[in-house]
Chains A and B, each alone.
Chain A
Amino acid sequence: MIILEGLSKSFNGVKVLDNLNIEFGDKQITVVIGRSGGGKSVMLKHIIGLMKPDSGKVLIGGIDINALKKKELNEIRKKFGMVFQDGALLDSLTVFENTAFPLRRHLKLSEKEIKDRVFSVLEDVGLKGQDKKMPSEISGGMRKRVGVARALILNPEIMLFDEPTTGLDPVMSDVINNLIISMHNKFKFTGIIISHDISGAFKTGDIIAMLYDGRIIESGAPEEFRNSANPVVKQFITGSMEGPILI
């Protein structure tokens, strides 16, 4: 269970997160939607300890990660896989080496075992035969999938996705959404997905939450969420210009 408790964070005096509270259930996929620039990536970076809150707590399995030493935090991070908004692949390494990177770092495996595991995940994400390419030689959608493969390779308990479908064509978005669903069925991780792709959110999420004005203003199962009475949520779902969201 991941709990964010009263999380607040400002940059240069501007409040991005403002007393944010949310719980992410085990083995569930929670999709957090919200406006561009609304602080979704900032929230995600707090969960993995890349950013420290001004106040509030990040509890992972009951442990406040900001009270941990670097070594202890790294132990917790090994339970995570994270897919970055733009892939964040190591651009000096091939697709194969990028995917193998966490394996080589954290497990003592033979070269054969590494190959087997990498090829199997690359096949899972539909990148068979692309292993020798460099990140600069593949498309954005492929880079995202390599990011997914790299995040999955250690069979993490928790997967974080930062806008896995943004910037992709609708077909590729659907490919990625289906990939997340099938990977979730196979590996049973706790998933947190950041997105502003509403239809994708309804498709992949067990729970959908909306981040607005620095806090979670609504959360629930897709059907509940769709029928929310909150005008902000309504406006966001319909994508209308009319409503309380100021432009």
Chain B
Amino acid sequence: MSNWKSHNSGFMNNIILVPFEKTGKFALYTVDELGSIAIYMWESLISIPEYFINFENLIDQIIFIGMDSFYVVGLTGLFTGMVLSLQAYYAAKIVGVTYMIGPTVALSMVRELGPVLTALMITARCGSSMASEIGTMKVTEQIDALEVMAVDPYYFLSVPRILAAMAMLPVMAVLCSLIGIIGGYVVYVYFLGLNHVTYIEKIYQYIKLSDIYNGLLKSVFFGAILAVISTFKGFQTTGGAKGVGRFTTQAVVLSSVYILFADYLLTSILF
């Protein structure tokens, strides 16, 4: 495979081949990693039926992902809604349709920004801590200790996190969208001085129940993605404190990228 390197020192060869070699390696790595994630997911999920008997640790995780993320998600929604309202105003006033600002804000929030921004914020906040917590347990042999005590670490650590994320992301996304719509309203009425009745009326007129359902469905997927990848990266951790940092970063970056990728995929299927 590296024959061309040894007898052909050609600079051109390098320029031409290196990108392919890099791309190929990256592709192989990605496929390999996706395979491992799939196996990991399967191994975690087969213990779910057993899990439904105990539900241990689930409440802690629900509080952590839900209640504790309230401010982060709320602020994100608020500012996003406000800025959307402003931006929409500049476009809408040109063609004289400022009454469409409400639906623009609401549809963007409910269909897209609510679920995605919530997922990204919760990845940053909870995905990172899932990865570092499990990663630390891995490097300090706590995971080994669980196994020795005949406790399945996937059952004990992954399942509650994955289930809690899948349950809480839709709730938090709704919250984010709702606060965003309120933020938009504040700008619409108090800063732009427009009529508050039209804002709400038009939203009712243009938003469909399916917009909300689809947004919720997306959130469930995002929750699964961020929790599966973050816990997976935690279990992969090796190499002491430095390793914990490295794998935590990987968890956040990889989760974010897969969330955005899944967003595109789901949007093209659902809407």
Contacts and interface: CB of A to CB of B under 8 A. Distances in A.
Contacts of B136: 91
Contact of A88 (B145, B151, B152): B145
Contacts, number: 45
Contact of B150 (A50, A77, A150): A77
A74 B140 CA distance: 21
A150 B142 CA distance: 13
B149 interface: yes
A89 interface: yes
Nearest to B149: A102
Interface in B130-177: 136-137, 140-142, 144-152
Interface string A87-98: 011110000000
A90 B151 CA distance: 13
A84 interface: yes
Contacts of A78: 150
A212 interface: no
B140 to A, nearest CB: 6
Contacts of B142: 88-91
B148 A48 contact: yes
A105 to B, nearest CB: 6
A84 B150 contact: no
A101 interface: yes
B145 A84 contact: yes
Contacts of B145: 82, 84, 88-90
A105 B151 contact: yes
| Main SS at interface, chain B | helix
Contact of B148 (A77, A86, A90): A77
Contacts of B147: 50, 77
Contact of A84 (B137, B141, B151, B152): B141
Contacts of B140: 86, 88, 91
B195 to A, nearest CB: 54
A48 B148 CA distance: 7
A82 B150 contact: no
A80 interface: yes
A106 interface: yes
A50 B152 contact: no
A69 interface: no
A75 B140 CA distance: 24
A65 to B, nearest CB: 13
Nearest to B144: A50
A70 interface: yes
Contacts of A82: 145, 148
A101 B150 CA distance: 11
A205 to B, nearest CB: 22
B228 to A, nearest CB: 20
A48 B141 CA distance: 14
Contacts of A80: 148
B144 A74 contact: no
Nearest to B151: A105
Most central of B144, B147, B150, B151 by chain A CB within 10 Å: B150
A136 to B, nearest CB: 11
B234 to A, nearest CB: 14
Nearest to A85: B141
A110 B102 CA distance: 58
B149 A84 contact: no
A105 B152 contact: no
A161 to B, nearest CB: 12
Contacts of A101: 149
B237 to A, nearest CB: 15
B243 to A, nearest CB: 16
B141 A105 contact: no
A217 B213 CA distance: 69
Interface of A: 45, 48, 50, 70, 74-75, 77-78, 80, 82, 84-86, 88-91, 101-102, 105-106, 150
Given A84-B145, A89-B145, A105-B149, 10 more contacts: A48-B148, A50-B148, A75-B150, A77-B149, A84-B141, A88-B145, A90-B137, A91-B136, A102-B149, A105-B151
11 contacts: A45-B144, A50-B144, A70-B152, A74-B152, A78-B150, A86-B140, A88-B142, A88-B145, A90-B142, A90-B145, A105-B150
Top 5 A-B residue pairs of the complex, sorted by shortest distance between their CB atoms: A88-B145, A88-B141, A74-B150, A77-B150, A82-B148
